[in-house]
Every structure is written in C-alpha cells, then in structure tokens.
Structure 1
Amino acid sequence: MPALAAFALDALIFIGLAWGVWRVLGRAIPIAVIPIIIGLGLAATGVLPAGWGVPSKLGGQLGFVGVLLLAFTAGLETRQSAHLPPTSEAAPLPRTQALRFMASAGMALLLPFALGTLAAHYYFTGLPGWDAPRGGAWMGSMAIGLCLAVSALPVLIGIVRELGPLHRPLTQLALRIAVIDDAVLWIGLALLLLAAEGGSLLAGASVLHVLALGVAILLAAAGTLAQRLRAPPPAWLVWVSLPVFMVAGAWASSQLGLHALLGAYFGGAMVPPAWGRRLPVERLGQFALIGLAPLFFGHSGLKIDGSVLGWASLQASLALLVLAVVAKLAAVLACPPASHLSRRDALAVGTLLQCKGLMEIVAATILRDKGLLSEHAFAALVTLAVLSTLLTGPFFRALVKRRAAQPQSGSQPA
C-alpha cells in the first residue's frame, strides 16, 4: 500500500474510529484509552493484514510528536495551576496542613512503589517471559513498581472536569497530589534510567554529551531568568519559546541516554509559571490527546506481541490492578491528605489517584524501549492502565453517591 494511503488508514483507525467510538459511548470512556484498546484488539486477533502498512511511518512520527507535546504540557501543568478548575480550595495551605498533605502524597507514592517492587521481584519477574532484558531483577522490579505508583494527571484532569463542581473539594485534593505524583514519576524515571546505565554517562562522556548537558543547564537558567523578569514578554516570544524548550529538552535527554519524553517533560517544567498562565495549556493538551497522540498509543497496543495477550497476561494484569488499587487506598486511609476527611471521602480521593491512564503507558513505553520491561510485563501494564482508567469514574461515583445526595454548602449547579 502507498505510504500516504497507509497513513490515511492509520489515522482513520486510531484517530477517526477512536473519536467516533468515544462519541457513540457518550464520552463515558476516557478517549485516551480507546486507541489503546483498538490496538490491543488488533494485536490479539491479528486481523490487520501486514500489507496494509499499518502502523505507518508518518503516523508513527506524528504520534511521537503528539506524545512529546503531551509530556511537555504535563511539565507545564506542574508549574502552574491555570489548568485546574477554579476553587477557593486551591489557596495555599497553612504549614501544618501542608506538611500533612505532603506526607499523604509521599505515602500515596511510596506504598504502591514498595509493594509493587517487592511483588514483582518475588513473584511476577519469575513468570515466563517477565525477566527484564537489561538491568537485572531488581531494576526490572523497580520499573514495575514505578508504573504501579503512577497517577495519570492529564487523564485525571479530564475525569475531574466531567465529574462537575459538586465534589470539587475532593477532586481538587486528588489533582494536587497527582501533580506531585507526576513530577516524581518523571524524576524517578530519569534516576532509574541513569542507574541502568551504570554510570556510563559520566565514564564515557563525549563532546555531544557535554553539549547536551549544557543545553539542559541553559534551558533551566533561561527559565529561571525569565521568571525573575518583571516586565511580561510579548505573546509571540512566549509562543516561539515553546518549541525551543520542548525540542531542546527532548534532544538533550535523548543524547544523554535517557528518553526524549523525559526531556520534553522537564522542558515544560522549566517554562516560567507566569508564561504558562498565558498559554492555552488545556487546549494544547487536548489537541495532542485527540489529534496526534492516539497514533502513538494505538501503535503501542498494536506492536504488542499478540502471543503474550492471553489468559495468563490478563490474570497478571488483574493481580497488579488489585495490588495498585489496594495500595493507593491504604495509603490515603493511613495518611489522609486533610484532617477533616471521612474514611469514605479519603477512599474517594484514593480512587481518583489509582487512575493510571496514559501516563503509565508512556512510562512503560520508555522502560520497555530501554530494556527495563519485557514484552510480557509491558502488555500486562498497558492492560492495567486501561482497566484502572475505566474503573476510576464508576468507583468514585459509587463512593460519593451518599455524599452527592446531601446538599453541599457553597455548591453551585454546573
């Protein structure tokens, strides 16, 4: 099939069909997971002829640009709160409450990571095909643990908007924790990949490595300097700087032996918050999520070896799902993010935090590309991300059903 026709078919399947299914289902399923489900279904059944040229080369390139933009906007979102629904609850917390909140956020990350790492090391990596190609047993186990600790900030923002203002005090807490989770996820990915390199970045540094490190330092310095400037820059300068921060960050991280998505994320995080507030961050994220990234996620599902998608893989995914959900819920019950929360409300916050969404798939893709996850583990984690995302809304609504039935002070209809 000609390259252009293959791309058109590629876009029709993973963008057009995914969007159509999303609308037919009344947006009940987050659009981020639909192309993944389509890809998984095609990989499992093998009904797509190889001669059709799907996945296409151009589709893969555009999909990667889309996921770079998603990572970049996720970095932007960690530095500013313009993307969050407006609420008085977003005001700075008093010191005591802030410490409690940070402790809760830390527990919500550490408990799933620790339990996931131990379970992977002592059970899952012993399953056939689960050994990580690189890094050894503990590195592969920590990669699985990191994926279980993820909370999907971009998808969670969309879910929270769909839930409306009635439960905003709870959803706002979950979003604040998810922002921290998102930042720690990318930092943890970087540290894990550096550890997997075994210090080779420092031992075998070349001129290109030094240049890439210099670019990263220059971006950080430029962001800090721009933040200190009192006079706001013209809008055109802000827009011109965006691709510079994204592309330069992605290039620097890839040259340093890390993944380009890491650099795109940190490039977004280096953009001054005052600049970010002048940008349509939500629209940029939506464009990437609906118009470009479905190709990347659909290809991720399609490229999974169909032979690993079976009952054993589904069992492993369900076991990991139970472990991830229980760990998140136990963490927020043991250390609630706010002292006034009832057990039911704390569980509702934990239910939102267990949403994996596309951030886990991005993380798993990076780890698989670097050899820290096997194809079997990757398939199970992608399935886990889809299941956890699908369950987030129904679980949350079930937990707050009684709360919703009671009038909330200060609540306004949507």
Structure 2
Amino acid sequence: MSTSEIFLLAMLLIFVAPYVIWRFCKTDYFAPLVVVQIVMGIVLGPGALGAVFPDYHKFVFNPDVTRTLNGVAMWGVMLFVMLAGIELDLKKVWQYRRESATTAGLSLGMPLLFGCGAALLLMAYPGWKGAGAAGWQFMLGTGMACAVTALPVLVLLLEKLEILRQPMGQRIMRYASLDDVAIWAVLAVILLDWERMGRQLGFIAVFVVLTLLFRRLMARLGKTDRWYVAVIWLIACGFSADWAGLHFMVGAFLAGVVMDVEWFGQEELDTLFRNVLLVLMPVFFLSTGLRTKWDLGGYSVFFAAGLLLAASVGGKLAGAHLAGRMLKWQRGEASIIGWLLQSKGLIEIVFANILLDKGIITSETFTALLLMAAASTMLTIPVVHPKLNRVQNRALVGQASS
C-alpha cells in the first residue's frame, strides 16, 4: 500500500473508533466525545494496540504516516490554543479582580503545592525525571501539570451542564482565565534556556511592540482580512516563540490573548472552535497517544497517574474551599467550582507535550499525566451534575419560601 493509502487508513481509525464507542455505548454522561477521543488516542498508541498487534501497529503508524499526522496535529493544536487565548476576557477579570485573584490564586497554588509534593516522591525513583531537567524544573513542571485547568474543555462542560451563561458559569470562566495566563507564564520560566536568554528577552520586547502595531492594524481591517491576518500573526508568533527557545504553543497562546472577540464575532469563533475540534483535534489526540509508553516497571505508571490525580483533585478542592470560606460563598458552591476547575482535558495534554519535548519529563511521566488528564475530565460531569442539582434545588426552595 502507498503512504497516502496507509495515512487514510490511520485517519479512518482516528475518526471511526471514538465516534462508534461514543454513539453506540452512550458514554456522553460520563465521557463526552472529546474525552472518548483522548482515551482512544491512548488505546491506539503503542502501549495498548501496539502491544497487542505490534506488526499491524508498525505498518499503519509507520514513520512517514506519523510525521504527516504530527504536522496536521501541530497545526490543529496551534489553532485550538489561539482560540483559547481569544476566549480570555481580561476586562471581566479586572472588574471582579479581588474575587477572581483570590480564587484563581488558591485554585492554582494549592494543586501546584500538592503536585510538587507528588513530584518530589516520584524523583526518589529513577525513570520519571527527564534526563536534561533540573530537579526544580521537574517539580515545578509536574506541579503545574496538576494545577492546569482546560479552559476550552471547561467551556464544553459548562455548556453541557447548561450554566455557561449563568453567573456561576461566568465566575468559573474568570477563574480559569486567570489560571491560564499564570500557567503559561510559569511554563515560560520552566523552559527558560539560559543560553538563549538574549533571544527570549528579544522575543518579549519585539512581541510587545508588534502587538501594539498589530492591534492598530486589526482595528482598521474588515472582518475577512482580519481572519487572514490573524492566521499570519499566529504562525509568526508560534515560529518566533519556538526560535526564542520557548515553544510554539506559548507563541500561539500569546497570539490569541492579544486579540479581541469583537474583531471576529462570537458566533464565528464558536463555529471555528467546533470545526477545529471536529476536523483537526482528533488527529492531535492520536498523535499524542502514539507517544505513550508503559515500559517503566510494568504498571507503575498507573500508580503515578493515581498519585498525580489525587494531587490535582485534592489541591483544586482545597483551594476552592479556602476561597469559599474567605469570600463567604453559599453552601455547595466551593465543591462544584473545585471539581470543574480540576478538569484537565486538552490543555493538560498540550502542557505535558511541551514538558516531554523539552526533556523535563520522561515518556513514562508523560503517560501518567495523560492518564490523569483523561481520568480528571471523565470524573467531572458525574460528580458535578448531582451537586449542581442540589444547589439549584436549594436555591429554588429558598426563593419559594421567601
């Protein structure tokens, strides 16, 4: 078979397998399609399908096909992260800055602390820390991986729970937005390359100047031209960030942050977001799954995943409950907010990919983080849905009695 035929066969697997499971097994309550796609990316990787059918796996996912898939995945995830950056409403964050900063700080700081503790435990054993990483890089990187909140996936979950446009949904979006900014900022510190310090400082300086010019240009353009210029801006920022020794994902996120939703229209952005999820992101899930390995001590990777999951969920819940006490939230709100903010989804995979690319974590740690991301996302809806119903019913009873 030709490379093009094998590539299309791989694409068929990527799109058919998750859809069939999601549709016929009716997993939507505990595992929306995006979660099934993440899990199937792992299943189709060398750790599962490759272990059962090694010859078939090597035939379908040969180096030529894998390189092509990686290229499609890279472009798709750049668009995805840019859209996540555009979604950030920094004006709303500033309007509710005290509440937002308190909650975002605690919901980021507590899982970061718990995750650093888990990383310290893993460092006591060989095979988890990347060969080129310093101890502080591994600890901070793993800690931040436990603190990540997947803003784009959070939007999908809030829509499914029908609270995205409600006050609680908007609050959660503000908290997650601040966390997203902090996470990418800390990632830049983790990836700091002392030999490329000049490049990195130059990138920041040039980015600030060009952002001012870019925003002026976009304000004068028509909507059609804005879309085209936005794509050029995305590519330029991704290339420049990668050249500076950071990562193209950092550049893609920054490219989106400095753009306004009003330039494009919310409906158009939502349409592009759904299309990227439908057409490109399944390829990214598979491309990510191809990097999973289970070589370290058999099933010890599952222990590491459980440890990281406990740090992530426990840290988010602890931070949310502390914020709830300080800000005097209503009973039950802290638990709902904590569980929604612990959802990892795609951004966790992006974050772990960057750590793996830069040699901060090993493939085994990457696999543990991938399993943690899938588990945390799958837990969200089943846990939050009944809690949300109780809070809403309590509110209705209170209104009726008053």
TM range (shorter): 0.7 to 0.9
What is the 5 A alignment of 1:287-298?
Answer: 287-298=275-286
Verify the 8 A CA contact 1:355 1:392 in the aligned structure 2. Answer: yes
Equivalent residue number for residue 50 of structure 1? 58
Tell whether 2:375 aligns with 1:374.
no
Equivalent residue number for residue 183 of structure 2? 185
| Alignment TM-score, normalising by the size of structure 1 | 0.85
Equivalent residue number for residue 347 of structure 2? 359
State which drifts further: 368-377 or 160-169: 160-169
State which drifts further: 100-109 or 12-21: 12-21
Equivalent residue number for residue 84 of structure 1? none
Equivalent residue number for residue 3 of structure 1? 3
Return 5+ residue gaps in structure 1 as ranges. 82-89
Equivalent residue number for residue 125 of structure 1? 123
Return 5+ residue gaps in structure 2 as ranges. none
> Relative to structure 1, is the Cα distance of residues 212 and 9 closer, same or farther in structure 2, using a 3 angstrom cutoff?
farther
CA RMSD of aligned residues (A): 2.8
Verify the 8 A CA contact 1:22 1:31 in the aligned structure 2. Answer: yes
Equivalent residue number for residue 140 of structure 1? 138
> Relative to structure 1, is the Cα distance of residues 72 and 337 closer, same or farther in structure 2, using a 3 angstrom cutoff?
farther
**1:335-369, CA deviations, whole angstroms, 9 ceiling, x for partnerless residues?**
12984522411111111001011101100000110
**1:106-126, CA deviations, whole angstroms, 9 ceiling, x for partnerless residues?**
1111111122113312x1122
Alignment partners' CA distance in 2, 1:246 and 1:137: 33
| Amino acid in structure 1 at the alignment position of 2:338 | G
Verify the 8 A CA contact 2:302 2:368 in the aligned structure 1. Answer: yes
**1:16-46, CA deviations, whole angstroms, 9 ceiling, x for partnerless residues?**
3223333332533233332332232232232
| Amino acid in structure 1 at the alignment position of 2:195 | S
**Partner-residue secondary structure (3-state), 1:135:** coil
Alignment partners' CA distance in 2, 1:135 and 1:343: 43
**Partner-residue secondary structure (3-state), 2:295:** helix
Tell whether 2:93 aligns with 1:103.
no
Alignment partners' CA distance in 2, 1:169 and 1:338: 19
Alignment partners' CA distance in 1, 2:169 and 2:297: 34
State which drifts further: 68-77 or 14-23: 14-23
Alignment partners' CA distance in 1, 2:129 and 2:345: 24
Equivalent residue number for residue 397 of structure 1? 385
Verify the 8 A CA contact 2:76 2:284 in the aligned structure 1. Answer: yes
Verify the 8 A CA contact 1:67 1:293 in the aligned structure 2. Answer: yes
> Relative to structure 1, is the Cα distance of residues 326 and 4 closer, same or farther in structure 2, using a 3 angstrom cutoff?
same
Structure 1 stretches of at least 4 aligned residues deviating more than 4 Å after TM superposition: 90-93, 209-215
| Amino acid in structure 2 at the alignment position of 1:15 | F
Equivalent residue number for residue 320 of structure 1? 308
**1:195-214, CA deviations, whole angstroms, 9 ceiling, x for partnerless residues?**
xx1x21135x5xxx898667
Verify the 8 A CA contact 1:213 1:256 in the aligned structure 2. Answer: no
Tell me the percent identity: 27
Offset, 1:398: 2.8
| Alignment TM-score, normalising by the size of structure 2 | 0.88
Equivalent residue number for residue 251 of structure 2? 263
> Relative to structure 1, is the Cα distance of residues 110 and 226 closer, same or farther in structure 2, using a 3 angstrom cutoff?
farther
